């Protein structure tokens, strides 16, 4: 074999130009590159919970004796716990290594090469990522100027190749909520619809009660944001039971690890504590919104989540992001169609808001 032929020419041709996912920055990779020590970095770029997980989780993990044992592939105990927490029957529930994995599994289950997924942009990048990785074709429908889903346009985009319509509600990175009648109009098309409710505990908006009524509805949730478990990767979804069974069959057998199960168990024993933190984050979001409004060069959008999207009115969002990063404050910036020059700021603790606003005032003048 010739020297430079290499193996690369053998990979799936549709993945040669695959864009991947631009993940958030890990603070340790910034050591020496920012003006503060790594421990001083304020991470407001991935919608993580600034208060961390429940202390019960850390305690239970420190003494958990069965790390040598594979977790239950059938997720029996986990699905039982999730039934108790959500009120949705265990037969409807499948858990994943983050809800990211459930997006992937649903698309793997439904998509044949060339099948279409309708995606309402701008939205969560994993929908595109997984669609393309599964060999599907992404059909993009633009949201309007307030980032509301254009239901008429969604319906007009349906073809005989459409397999799934996916929407995040509330949407990331815009924070927008979709009115329930609009969701219903999409569900009433009869096509499989995925509603990603990653921020449910912040918004309290859900279509989960409609699951028994609509056989084409799927709902995703996660412990990453409200429960502070992003690092342990635990999400779940509600599916019609026959679809849940197919998902259980095709998922990697031990997709939710033992530590994540312990963490769910302990988090659910500490709901009051965690919901107090959620309330604090919501209050802080509203304070942050007020502070951002006062800055002339930013236009914040109202949010039902734990983050706020802002248009940067007088310059490049990438530059602003970099200047904040130099000061040890991480935010996310976007520069895509419909999301020109925008930054997304996750809600931190009050002192994080103070540091951010101080930095923004210094930078923005
Ligand atoms: C954060 C987020 C997720 C991913 O959650 P994980 O459970 O951590 O994989 C899914 N969907 C949306 C819309 C998100 O913002």
CA of 233 to the centre of ligand 1 (A): 10
64, 262 contact by CB (below 8 A): yes
C-alpha–C-alpha distance, residues 291 and 352, integer Å: 13
Ligand 1 atom closest to 173 (CA): 15
Widest pairwise Cα distance in the chain: 65
Residue 301 has a pLDDT of 97
CATH code, 24-52+272-364: 3.90.1150.10
Residue 2 has a pLDDT of 52
Residue 175 CB–ligand 1 contact under 6 Å? no
Residue 198 CB–ligand 1 contact under 6 Å? yes
Residue 235 CB–ligand 1 contact under 6 Å? yes
CA of 137 to the centre of ligand 1 (A): 21
Cα angle 204-205-206, degrees, rounded to a multiple of 5: 110
Domain ranges of the chain: 24-52+272-364, 55-268
C-alpha–C-alpha distance, residues 173 and 117, integer Å: 19
CA of 324 to the centre of ligand 1 (A): 24
306, 47 contact by CB (below 8 A): yes
Which residues of the chain fall below pLDDT 70? 1-5, 365
Q: What separation in angstroms does the CA of 247 have from each of 93, 96, 236, 297?
A: 10, 10, 11, 47
Residue 28 has a pLDDT of 87
Q: Would you identify the CATH topology of the domain 55-268? A: 3.40.640
304, 201 contact by CB (below 8 A): no
Residue 356 has a pLDDT of 98
Residue 45 CB–ligand 1 contact under 6 Å? no
Q: What separation in angstroms does the CA of 282 have from each of 123, 214, 271, 291, 308?
A: 21, 32, 16, 14, 11
Structural tokens at position 360: 């923004």
Which DSSP letter does residue 61 get? H
C-alpha–C-alpha distance, residues 80 and 245, integer Å: 15
Residue pLDDT, tens place only, 125-178: 999 999 999 999 999 999 999 999 999 999 999 999 999 999 999 999 999 999
CA of 314 to the centre of ligand 1 (A): 30
Residue 99 CB–ligand 1 contact under 6 Å? yes
Ligand 1 atom closest to 224 (CA): 8
CA of 222 to the centre of ligand 1 (A): 7
Structural tokens at position 153: 């346009």
CA of 341 to the centre of ligand 1 (A): 23
């Amino acid at each position: 074999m010739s020297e430079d032929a290499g193996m690369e020419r053998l990979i799936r041709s549709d993945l040669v130009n695959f864009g991947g996912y631009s993940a958030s920055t890990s603070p340790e990779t910034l050591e020496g590159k920012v003006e503060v020590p790594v421990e001083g970095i304020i991470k407001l770029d991935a919608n993580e919970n600034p208060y961390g997980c429940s202390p019960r989780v850390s305690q239970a993990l420190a003494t958990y004796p069965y790390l040598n044992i594979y977790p239950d592939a059938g997720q029996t105990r986990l699905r039982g716990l999730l039934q108790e927490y959500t009120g949705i029957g265990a037969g409807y529930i499948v858990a994943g290594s983050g809800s990211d994995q459930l997006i992937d599994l649903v698309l793997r289950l439904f998509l044949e090469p060339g099948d279409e997924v309708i995606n309402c942009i701008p939205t969560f990048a994993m929908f595109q990522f997984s669609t393309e990785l599964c060999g599907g074709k992404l059909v993009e429908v633009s949201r309007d100027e307030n980032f509301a889903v254009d239901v008429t346009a969604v319906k007009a985009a349906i073809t005989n190749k459409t397999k799934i319509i996916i929407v995040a509600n509330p949407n990331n990175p815009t924070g927008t909520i979709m009115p329930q009648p609009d969701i219903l109009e999409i569900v009433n098309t009869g096509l499989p619809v995925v509603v990603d409710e990653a921020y449910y505990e912040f918004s309290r908006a859900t279509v989960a009660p409609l699951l028994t009524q609509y056989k084409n509805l799927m709902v995703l949730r996660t412990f990453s944001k409200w429960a502070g478990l992003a690092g342990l990767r635990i999400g779940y979804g509600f599916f019609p039971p026959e679809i849940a069974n197919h998902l259980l069959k095709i998922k990697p057998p031990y997709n939710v690890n033992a530590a994540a199960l312990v963490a769910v168990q302990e988090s659910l024993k500490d709901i009051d504590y965690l919901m107090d933190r959620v309330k604090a984050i919501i209050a802080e979001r509203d304070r942050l919104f007020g502070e951002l409004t006062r800055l002339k060069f930013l236009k914040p959008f109202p949010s039902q989540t734990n983050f706020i999207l802002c248009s940067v009115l007088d310059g490049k969002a990438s530059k602003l992001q970099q200047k904040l990063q130099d000061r040890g404050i991480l935010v996310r910036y976007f520069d895509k169609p419909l999301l020109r020059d925008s930054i997304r700021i996750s809600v931190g603790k009050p002192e994080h808001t103070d540091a951010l606003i101080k930095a923004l005032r210094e930078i923005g003048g």
